[in-house]
Each structure stands twice: as C-alpha cells, then as structure tokens.
Amino acid sequence: MALPLLFLAACKKGTETNAFADFLPISAAPDGTQGCYGPNQAFVASAPVYADPVVGPTSQIAAARGAETIYLSGADGSVSALDFSGGAPPVVTTLVAGGVGGPIDQLLASAGIAQPCELSGVAVLDASSLALVEHTSNTILLVSRTTPDSVAFLAGFPDLIEGFADGFAAQARFSFPPGVPTQLVATADGRIFVADSGNHAIRQVAVDALVTVATVTGSGSPFFLDGDLSTAGFDTPAGLALSCAGELLVTETGAAGLGGNRLRSLAIGAPSFFGGFRGEARTLAGVLDAPRGPVTSSLDEVYWADSATGILRRYAFATGATDCPLFPDCASASASFTPGSAVSLAVSDSGALYALDGGAGTLFRLSP
C-alpha cells in the first residue's frame, strides 16, 4: 500500500497549483538537479569560477548529484565535467574531445553529415550517461559519463534538414536551428523532455529497450494559447525544468514574435487515445525578455535569466510574485550577464547556483 499512498500524495501536491484531474506528477532523474533541488538562494556578488574558449554562444550546463560537478557542452564539440569539490578553479575532465574531426564530428560523418557539430542542452540521465542536443544533425546524443569519447545517436534521424515527426528513435525528427540553444530535462522514470524550439513544441523521448519519441504539446507553428495540451501554442520554447509539484516548467524566448516571453507550467497526464497527451498549460509569468535556463529550488522558487537584458529573475509559487533577486526591484535592475547571450543555470550538489554566460565565455557562481 505504500506506493499508492505516495502516488496519491504527489497528485494532491500537484493539484494545489492546477485543476487538471488526470495530472501525473513528474520527478527529476535522481542523478541530476534539474527539478526541485537545493535551497531558496541567498545571493552574493557573482564570482567568475571558470573561463575557457570552449564556452560559446550555445554552450549549456547541467549538474550532478553526489558530487560538486557541472557538465558543460563546448562550442568546439567537446563535453566536459567541471569538479568544484575543491573550489575554483575546477578540476576539468574531458568526456568528449572537441575540435574539427572530434568524436561527435565522426559520428555525424558516419551518417553522411560533413559539417561540424553544434551542441547545446545537456541533461544527466543516470550514473553513467548524459543526453545532449546536437543542432547540425537535429538529434539528441547519448554521451558516457565514464568512458571517454563514447557517443551515440539516442533519438532523431540525423539530417541537416529539420523535421517534425514522432516514432521510434531513428524515425523521429526534430528542429534544432543553428545558434538557438535549447534544453532538455531527464525524469526518474526514464523519460527526457525536450524543448523542440524550431517546431515550437515540447517532445518526450522514452528511453527503454525501444526508444520512442512523442509530441507532448505544440503544433509546429509559433503562437500562444494556454489550456488543453492538444491545442496549446508556444513560441520558441527553449528552457525546461521540473517543479516540486511535478509540473514541467517551460520558458519561451518568443523569437517568432507570436507569443512567448513567458514562464509556463505544463500539467501532463497520460497519453490520449487520439494521440498526444492529456493535460493543460498555463502561464505563470509573462512580459519577460527572452527567458532561458530555468531551475527550481526544493522550496519551489524558480530562477531563470531574461537573456535579452541579462537580468536574473525569480518566481515564487507560494506568492505568484516575480522579481529580480540581485536588485531591490526590477526597475533598478541592470545586466548581470551579457545582454543577448544565452545564459544557462544549474544548481550544484551543494545547492549553489551557477550561471553560464555564453557571450562572456564564463561560468559564474551566484550563491555560497
């Protein structure tokens, strides 16, 4: 009886913030920190803790549990582990070598793609694996955390031409436009949610004996609409995280000018008999400035960067209020990061908040 009781408790927690009856709360993968992790932040003056030419405009970060380690996707096609257990600067371990003709370029070449790779979003799947977004081939890659230079296609048909199709791993198609970094988030039950920016959709990759891809919500065209997931609309979703209630949080940059610039919450239910998923979308905060990189604390505060202005923002589920936590108020706030840069956030195992400023090529630590 213990498991049903736990499940019912989780459902009740979720319904405190939405009225969707069939809501099935989602838990983050236990080896990563992409949902409901760490304290509400006590901010200090931001300190640069790592700078390197491999940090580029589409580079992103994710953090592991059990070690003070940040994973970084490099502009040169590298994947690195930054160990901050001894403080800054970190001990750097190269998981995948970068440079022209590196392991990921070789993987693309095996699929007939001669152009160099372009990485962005990274997620910790489990103790042995990472998932990464690869833009040149419009695919999601599987990268080993333990075996150097071990990479493989996980989902998506590798093609320079973007697409939009569900199905088994190699049949599915994604749209990851060049220069438009996007995120993914891994769950405890073996799924990966993907912000499919070019298709203005949220996709699900189920990692099982047979990897399958399904569209959770979004039509392939940019627009804005809350409500039922079957009809909800999005404009360039780019950031993903999980709330403590088990909802999927989405930030939209609004690049197409047809909605976006919002923090949204998706209460996702079971797959629908008619295709797609039951559930609903709602706006938590609007009138933002190209928000990116959301993370959530264990006390249900959401942090992200308004990348157009370079300002750190915060949303509190308890009050529904949005503010600029590094300043007394948002009216007096100024850029903490390079305006127009794609900022990525991660909460480390110790609960510290890190921010990667791709425009500055620098990783910052924002809290003790």
pLDDT tens, 205-222? 999 989 999 999 999 999
Sign of CA dihedral 296, 302, 303, 307: positive
Give the model confidence (pLDDT) of 305-357 as tens digits. 999 999 999 999 999 999 999 999 999 999 999 999 999 999 999 999 999 99
pLDDT score of 20: 57
Distance CA(252)–CA(245), nearest Å, equals: 21
CB atoms within 10 A of CB 62: 28
Q: Check whether 14 has a pLDDT greater than 70.
A: no
pLDDT of residue 214: 97
**pLDDT at site 216:** 97
Q: Which residue has the higher pLDDT, 211 or 11?
A: 211
Average pLDDT, integer, range 288-310? 97
pLDDT of residue 5: 31
Grade residue 199 by pLDDT with cuts at 50, 70 and 90.
Answer: very high
Omega before residue 89 within 30° of 0, cis:
yes
Span 130-140, average pLDDT: 98
- pLDDT tens-digit series, residues 45-72: 889 999 999 999 999 999 999 999 999 9
Q: Is 267 exposed, middle or buried (0-12, 13-18, 19+ CB in 10 A)?
A: buried
Strand 119-124 and strand 129-134: pairing? antiparallel
Single-letter amino acid code for the residue at 233: G
CB burial string 204-230: b at 16+ within 10 A, e below:
bbbbeeebbbbbbbbbeebebeeebbe
User: Can you tell me the distance from the alpha carbon of 22 to that of 229, in angstroms, rounded to the nearest whole number?
Assistant: 12
The residue ranges of every structural domain in the chain are 18-365
Q: Which fold has domain 18-365?
A: Neuraminidase (2.120.10)
Model pLDDT for residues 66-79, shown as the tens digit of each residue: 999 999 999 999 99
Each residue of 82-118: pLDDT tens digit? 999 999 999 999 999 999 999 999 999 999 999 999 9
- 4 pLDDT more than 60: no
More confident call, 2 vs 167:
167
- pLDDT, position 8: 32
Quick check: 17 pLDDT over 90? no
Q: Is the pTM of this model over 0.85?
A: yes
Nearest residue to 158 (alpha-carbon basis) of 178, 141, 146: 141
Which pLDDT belongs to residue 9? 33
Read off the pLDDT band of 276 (50, 70, 90).
confident
The C-alpha torsion from 109 through 111 and 115 to 119, rounded to 10°, is: -100
| DSSP code for 209 | S
Distance of CA 268 to the CA centre of its chain: 17
Burial profile 132-144: b = 16 or more Cβ within 10 angstroms, e = fewer = bbbbbbbbbbbbb
CA distance to 63, 262, 363, 364, 365, per residue, from 89 (Å) = 16, 35, 10, 11, 11
pLDDT tens-digit map of 141-195: 999 999 999 999 999 999 999 999 999 999 999 999 999 999 999 999 999 999 9
Distance of alpha carbon 24 from alpha carbon 7, whole angstroms: 9
Distance linking the first and last C-alpha atoms of the chain? 41
C-beta atoms surrounding 161 within 10 Å: 8
Contact in structure between 121 and 184 (CB atoms under 8 Å): yes
Q: Given a cut of 80, is residue 275 above it in pLDDT? A: no
pLDDT higher than 70, residue 10: no
